[in-house]
Every structure is written in C-alpha cells, then in structure tokens.
Structure 1
Amino acid sequence: MHHTGGPGWRITMDTCGPMLIALYIRDVAGLVGAGSPALSHVDPHVRAADHSRLTAQLGGTEALRDQWEVWWSRLVASYPRPEPALTPPEFPELAGLPALQRVVQAHFGAALTWSREQSKAYSLLSAERETLGGHKILADLVQNREMELGRSARDFTLSIVEMPLAEPRAWFIEPDRLIMSQHLIDDQQNFLSYVQPVVELLV
C-alpha cells in the first residue's frame, strides 16, 4: 500500500484480495460487462468455462450475473474495510446467492491461487514505484490544484484500488474511490486524464 498525504488529505493506492477473487470468478463464469461500473476483463486472461449445468436449477446465467453483481457491489462499498474472508467449503458469506455459491465452490482454489499471484506481482510493482518515486505525481496533482485555487486542500480521502485489468483506464466510484488498471500510472498522460478531474473535484 502507498500513502500520499498532507494536512487533512490522504490518497492511498493498493490492491484488494477479495476483489481479485471476485474478478476471477466473473471472468471464469463469462459474465462480460457485469457490475457497475463494468470493468474490463483481467490480464492475465482467465478463460471462461460453461456453468449452465452447474447453475441450471438455481436460475441459470441471469441469476448468476445478478448474484455476482450483489457481491461485487458489497465489496466495492465496503472498501477499504475488509469483507469477511470466504470460508470453504460452504461459503456461508454468500448465503442467499446460491448460483454464485455453487460457482465459487467450483473455482475457489484456482481463484485464490490466482489472486495471491496477482497480489505478489502488485507488491513488487509497488515497491519498484516507491524506489523510483513513481507516486510523486499524486502529491503534485494536489499541490498544483492548491496553487490554482489559492488555498489549502479541503479534508478528503481518495482510495485508489489497483487491479490487473486489460484496459488502461480508471473508473470513478463516488464519492471517493477509483478502481484503476495497475499499469495506468506508467502512462502519465492517460493517468492524468482519469485521475486529475477526480483530485480537482475533491481538493
């Protein structure tokens, strides 16, 4: 996790294990465009499997999509506070979401392994950025806006959740969260096009 801050304001950048697991489940279930906002598929690519037989008695793909979206909205709303960890084999945390529960049971081992690999890769990426001063751009954004306005920043917190997403962009979730491709910051111009308007809004 990286923190940038000043008097009354703070920006954090981190990844999120439960969200990684949820995105793996979304992609392995072939739920293209699910969720609000609809994030791009993950990279490295996760191959979709056919779950029609698994979920046929539980409402099929439509029910699975609806239930995944309920789960995803819970994860996004609770971030950065951690959701209760999923506990196999019954996954009581997904009670009331039977189609999703069934798919998670089928893929949890692979999802957990994949999410741990992505978290490890993110830690290395984050440490390298820290060494090279790659996060300085965030403090610069706030300071430039303060100079424009002629005053100090208002009190605010911005949580940036970095994910291994194929599309190099960010998705703003009001009032104070961004979900972002973890390589977006490497393309400074593209990064600024998504992050600068949010910082200006908050400052």
Structure 2
Amino acid sequence: MESWQVRIDMPQPLVLTLYLHEVVGLRGLTGDRQGFPPLPPLSPSVRVQALPAGVDAQSAAEQWAQWWARRRLDLPGQLPFPHPPDFPEVQDLPAVQALLRQHFTAGIAYSGAACTEHAQRSVAALRQRGRDRGIDWQLLVRRQEEQLGRRAAPFVLWVTEVPVEGTGAWLVADGDVIVSAGFLQDRVAAEAFFEPLVRAVV
C-alpha cells in the first residue's frame, strides 16, 4: 500500500461559493486574500445581477472572503453545505446569507451541473489509455523515488477542480491545489506543474 495519497474532487459547496462570487460581481473586490487565488471567470459564464437590497458590495466582498476562508484545512476544498431557508452555517455573515437567499436555487443548479460534468470527465479519463489518460501520479512519484533512492514519505495532496475558463493551476497552500476543469487531462502541463510540488513532499 502506498504511503501517499492524491485526492481529487469538485466539491459542490465550493462551486456554489464561486457562483455567488460571480453572480453579484465581486470579481476584483476580493483580491488575492484569505487564500483566494486569482481564478479566471467561471465557465459557463454567469450573468452578473444586482446585489440584494440592503447589501453593499464592500460588505459582500469582505464576508464572502471570510466564507471562502472556512475551507477546511484537513479537507481542502470542502465547505459546510449551506441549508435553506435560513442558512445557519453562515448566520454570522448576513451579507452571505442574503446572497444565498437570492441565488441559492440557481447556484445549486449551476454547481450541480458542473459536478456532474466533473464526474463524467473523471470516468471517461479512467477509460483512456496511455497519454490520453492524463497525469500518471504513480509514475510521477516513482520518478522522484528513483532520483532520491528511497520510498516516498507519507503525504496527502488535495487537488480541487473548479469550472473556470482556460487551463491553469493555482497553489493555495502546501498540499492544497486548485485546478481548472480538465487540467489534469493535459498530461504535459499537469506534470510540469505538479512535479516540483511532489518533489518537495516526497
């Protein structure tokens, strides 16, 4: 049994969070803070709508960033699922509660479709062979083991896929990476990005 793990997921609550970020036009207000990388816009694109009554853009951006920062450190990418109609998970963030009340139904539909596509893409990748299958984690780690002359030390790498435009990857923290949908199927680009990260923890 391997001493290391690579865990790949597209958590629906996280996609819902990004949807709210886009639908009320918070791009450019949250910045690269609270561990939020400069992600491209969502794909499919989201039409920007007005903020809920009584919520100003600055408060919404600040409280949204606090919500994003609640991504679990032991399970990067995971956020508590907000439960309607009162969304008690964010009761201390009234601006976020207002965003959820106004956009929850559309956000759930959007994030659900994105996660279904992610699952279908993952199954299709498993059926591929050779380089078409995408990044080979076993091979990537084995190369580092051969260079070091020892087995890999135990590590866990969390890879969170999100439905954004283009192809890219962003290191949020040690062992915590966000990638665009389909990035892992670009074997050359994925190996070039992840090889130094794996080397650092192996």
Normalised by the length of structure 1, the TM-score is 0.88
SS of the aligned residue for 2:138 comes to helix
Question: 1:27-176 residue pairs with structure 2 within 5 A?
Answer: 27-33=22-28, 34=30, 36-51=36-51, 54-56=53-55, 60-75=56-71, 77=73, 79-80=75-76, 82-133=78-129, 134=133, 137-176=136-175
User: Deviating runs (4+, > 4 A) in structure 1?
Assistant: none
Answer 1 or 2: which has greater helix percent.
1
Q: Which amino acid aligns with 2:70?
A: R
Asked if the contact 1:55–1:102 (Cα under 8 Å) also holds between the matched residues in 2, the reply is no
Encode CA deviations 1:45-79: one digit per residue, 9 max, x unaligned. Answer: 1111121x6244xxx11110011111111125353
Distance 1:81 1:39 in 2: 14
Identity of aligned residues (%): 28
Within 1, Cα distance between the matches of 2:93 and 2:27?
A: 19
Unpaired segments ≥5 residues, structure 1: 1-5
In structure 2, the CA distance between the partners of 1:42 and 1:187, relative to structure 1 (3 Å rule), is same
Residue in structure 2 matched with residue 3 of structure 1 by the alignment: none
Hey, what's the Cα distance between the residues in 1 that align with 2:93 and 2:135? 42
Contact 2:135 2:185 in 1 (8 A): no
CA offsets 1:80-133 (integer angstroms, 9 cap, x no match)? 585432111111111111111111110000000111111111111000011115
Residue identity opposite 1:26 in structure 2: H
Equivalent-residue separation in structure 1 for 2:98 and 2:109 (angstroms): 18
| Of 142-151 and 169-178, the range deviating more from structure 2 | 169-178
Paired residue total: 194
* CA contact 1:55–1:61 (8 Å) conserved in 2: no
Q: Is the 8 A contact 1:54 1:103 kept in 2?
A: no
Distance 1:49 1:76, change over 3 A: farther
Q: Which SS does the other structure have where 1:191 is aligned?
A: helix
The normalised TM-score by structure 2 is 0.88
Partner Cα separation in structure 2 for residue 100 and residue 82 of structure 1: 17
Structure 2 distance, partners of 1:189, 1:159, is 20
Superposition deviation, residue 136 in structure 1: 5.4
Distance in 1, matches of 2:48 and 2:193, equals 30
Q: Secondary structure at the match of 1:22?
A: helix
Contact 2:161 2:178 in 1 (8 A): yes
